[in-house]
Amino acid sequence: MRFKYSLKTAFKGLEQNRARSFLTILGIVIGVTSIILVMSLGQGAQNLILDQVKGLGSRTIIVGAGREPTGPSDAGQIFSDSLKQKDYDLLQRRENTPSVKMIMPIVFGSASAAYQSETYSLTIFGASPLFGNIFDLSLKSGTFFTEEDIRANSKYVIIGNKVREQLFGADDAVGQTIRMKGYNFRVIGVLAEQGQSAFNFDEAAIIPYTTAQNYVLGIKYFNRFVAEATTDALVDSAADEIKLTLRESHNITDTTKDDFFVITQVTLASSLSAITSVLTIFLAAVAAISLVVGGIGIMNIMLVSVTERTKEIGLRKALGATYRNILTQFLLEAVMLTGIGGITGILLGAALSWGISTAIRSFSTIAWTFSFPVSAAILGLVVSGAIGLIFGLYPARTAARKSPIDALRYE
């Protein structure tokens, strides 16, 4: 039989039971919708994370105190005070770290800043003058602090753009004094607006690390070292040099007992995308269960339909339809059902994902972008078609095997 007419016949078969066909494909629609939604949101999350990681800079190396958390039972916080001034001194020596162009220590904590009657909660970063250089930050106005300020424990602060907006409004901030943790800080610079990045510098105050350690936070260690490799190609060797130096300094011989961790853009991106991929696959697999349930629904309804149309099958056979003709007709009906369900699900899933992306953007500051992986759409179509074939095969064979005379006699 000509394919065009097979399609027409299959479509007519479905059309005669519109309500039933609709209810039957709901299972497939829901299954495909959830798969598309999960994959699309997963891709969006991945893009968001990778964008933020890119903000880190390709040559940047971050050294953290403590063990990189690898699981919930891992007490990574035990060694949180492991990075000391001695380590900083060693790391700064060129003979220890020839591939490192520059390195600075960072401490941080949260505080609230006050100017006249305005207050604002922000993150305090204690850093060195290299800060702007390493994180590629530029000043909107004012200057950075100097090595002299580090030695002198100067109470100078550079504030993020949002902090300036909240505390000073339209007024000029540079030269004014703000109060944090009971100390007065002179604003010597304002950062240009950063937008979304790995660190939220718009809502931060940057002060000399010595001031932060001795006055604001009262600690003798560093939270992080941030280094920059001399070239992109030397990032890995720079990371290795830092590890060796720190192990030497901490007397560590077993690399699994490191009390610090080293992150580069590449390692961070790969470990974060591994996490989102696993999550996406897991959620998509859960959603796929509903597709199987939907497929069983299709099989059930197709069997009912075959029984109902026994007489029609008998007639078609009497008029010359072969086993193959009847098989094709009912398989096409099943595939058409799941195909329509699949396409609807893809559109619905994309629409929902788009809606959620828009909602995230308008109700939060997260720079979420809608992304629709073509692979998900193809997967959705292929899977729904395959479900039609698999779950339609048994009913279609039942139909095609009927003897014409038994089928014609059926009442």
Binding status of residue 320 toward another protein by CB under 8 A:
yes
Output the smallest distance, CB 322 to another protein, in A: 4
Output the smallest distance, CB 402 to another protein, in A: 12
Binding status of residue 9 toward another protein by CB under 8 A:
yes
**Closer to another protein by Cβ: residue 202 or 333:** 333
Binding status of residue 312 toward another protein by CB under 8 A:
yes
Report the C-alpha gap between 362 and 50 in whole angstroms: 21
By DSSP bridging, strand 183-191 and strand 156-159 are parallel
Radius of gyration in angstroms for the set of CA atoms belonging to the chain, rounded to a whole number: 32
Output the smallest distance, CB 385 to another protein, in A: 24
Task: Give residues with Cβ within 8 angstroms of 346, minimum separation 6.
Answer: 32, 36, 376, 377, 380, 381
Binding status of residue 282 toward another protein by CB under 8 A:
no
**Closer to another protein by Cβ: residue 88 or 410:** 410
CA nearest neighbour of 122 among 157, 70, 84: 157
**Closer to another protein by Cβ: residue 262 or 400:** 400
Binding status of residue 70 toward another protein by CB under 8 A:
no
Binding status of residue 323 toward another protein by CB under 8 A:
yes
CA nearest neighbour of 167 among 123, 110, 121, 200: 121
Site for another protein in 371-410 (CB under 8 A): 403-405, 408
Q: For 141, list phi and psi in degrees, rounded to 5.
A: -155, 160
CA nearest neighbour of 215 among 248, 187, 259, 182: 182
Output the smallest distance, CB 321 to another protein, in A: 5
Binding status of residue 322 toward another protein by CB under 8 A:
yes
Q: Find the binder of another protein among 16, 77, 270, 271 (CB under 8 A).
A: 16
Task: Give residues with Cβ within 8 angstroms of 91, minimum separation 6.
Answer: 97, 100, 103, 225, 227, 242, 245, 246
**CA 371 and chain centroid, separation:** 11
Report the C-alpha gap between 280 and 211 in whole angstroms: 44
Q: Find the binder of another protein among 114, 325, 352, 373 (CB under 8 A).
A: 325
DSSP 8-class letter at 77 = G
Q: For 132, list phi and psi in degrees, rounded to 5.
A: -60, -35
Output the smallest distance, CB 7 to another protein, in A: 12
Q: Find the binder of another protein among 319, 362, 363, 374 (CB under 8 A).
A: 319
Binding status of residue 272 toward another protein by CB under 8 A:
no
Per-residue mark of binding to another protein, 145-184 (x: CB under 8 A): ----------------------------------------
**Closer to another protein by Cβ: residue 1 or 389:** 1
Q: Find the binder of another protein among 59, 164, 316, 402 (CB under 8 A).
A: 316
DSSP 8-class letter at 251 = T
Q: How far is CA 167 from CA 124, 157, 266, in A?
A: 15, 14, 37
CA nearest neighbour of 243 among 261, 223, 268: 261
Report the C-alpha gap between 373 and 353 in whole angstroms: 11
Q: Find the binder of another protein among 321, 334, 336, 377 (CB under 8 A).
A: 321
Output the smallest distance, CB 303 to another protein, in A: 21
Question: Which positions lie near another protein, rule CB under 8 A?
Answer: 1-2, 5, 9, 12, 16, 311-312, 314-325, 403-405, 408
